[in-house]
Amino acid sequence: MKFIHLSHALKTIKILDLISDYLERKIMKNEDKLLFLKGIGKKYTDNEIFNKSHENILSNYKPSEKKVGLFTVCSWGKPYRQSYIHYMIISELIKNNLFDKIELIVLTNAGVIPYGFTDEYPYFAYDWDPNLETPEIKKIYIKILKKRLEEFLNKKSKYFIKFCCYLRHSSESFKVVKNIEEEFKILIPNFAINEKEIRKEEYDEISLGFYDDHDIYLVTKRSLNNLTTSLKKFL
């Protein structure tokens, strides 16, 4: 059996990292191709593609009428409206005649995304797996999302009556919302039932023992009912 000397292994890893960074810079600058941004870490949230799209939203987004802004979760399925999680949330909003009264805004590693932009590139072409996040990556996510949400609110809050959210209470996105509440001196209530209060049988009723996702808590019957009931009182 042959053993590779540690210094050689480290040198190889460093070379591979340099090659990866070089290729990424080349691809990111290639405007003729639509790059699918799959990965986690700083370069998969703070990059030229996402930053340009964020600036586009800040420059061009203007709702046709004042509504309540509802910050919610992203999804594995893209575009979001094709995902199981978003389908169930939107279905409940429509059934309760609430969908036309609110503006859905997705909080994600890709940015702060009003629903009208979610079919545009790059928002249908990325994947960030929260199961692979480390404590350091979570800090990066929080820092960048907080900056983008600050910029969004500074420019766009005048177009909204008020804001609320529908997020897991343990999520990094909700941590950002709590920080924003304190910084902007505003109230952004979370209409999701805390996942710690959701019983296992409620979760299993939706997952059927086959589909495991952090955000299934958001589409349990009790949490969806809390969303619509709370929204009716909030509007």
Helix (H, G, I), strand (E, B) or coil at 191: coil
Work out how many domains the chain is built from and give that number: 1
The reply to whether 163 falls in a domain is yes
* Residue whose tokens read 């292994």: 9
In total, the chain counts a number of residues equal to 235
The reply to whether 18 falls in a domain is no
Would the pLDDT of 9 be above 80? Answer: no
Q: Each residue of 150-167: pLDDT tens digit? A: 999 999 999 999 999 999
CA dist 60 and 88 (Å) reads: 29
Q: Each residue of 56-87: pLDDT tens digit? A: 999 999 998 999 999 999 998 899 999 989 99
Would the pLDDT of 2 be above 60? Answer: no
The reply to whether 3 falls in a domain is no
> What's the CATH code of the domain at 47?
3.40.50.10630
Burial class (CB in 10 A: 0-12, 13-18, 19+), 127: middle
> DSSP string of 18-35?
HHHHHHHHHHHT-TTS--
CA dist 13 and 133 (Å) reads: 21
CA dist 218 and 203 (Å) reads: 9
CA dist 230 and 235 (Å) reads: 9
- Give the pTM: 0.85
Would the pLDDT of 148 be above 80? Answer: yes
Structure tokens that stand for 1 in this block:
């059996």
Contact 160, 63 (CB under 8 A): yes
Q: Please name the residue ranges forming H helices in the chain.
A: 6-28, 48-60, 84-95, 135-156, 172-184, 200-207, 221-234
Would the pLDDT of 1 be above 70? Answer: no
Cα 173 to chain centroid distance, Å, stands at: 7
The reply to whether 13 falls in a domain is no
Domain extent for 168 = 34-234
CA dist 196 and 128 (Å) reads: 24
CA dist 56 and 60 (Å) reads: 6
Q: Each residue of 32-57: pLDDT tens digit? A: 578 999 999 999 999 999 999 999 99
The reply to whether 114 falls in a domain is yes
The reply to whether 11 falls in a domain is no
The reply to whether 147 falls in a domain is yes
CA distances, 41 to each of 20, 45, 141 (Å): 14, 7, 8
- Helix 221-234 and helix 200-207, axial crossing angle in degrees, nearest 10: 100
Percent of the chain with pLDDT over 90: 74
pLDDT band at 209 (very low <50, low <70, confident <90, very high): confident
Query: Once rounded to an integer, what is the mean pLDDT over residues 80-106?
Result: 96
Would the pLDDT of 23 be above 60? Answer: no
The reply to whether 14 falls in a domain is no
Q: Each residue of 199-208: pLDDT tens digit? A: 999 988 988 8
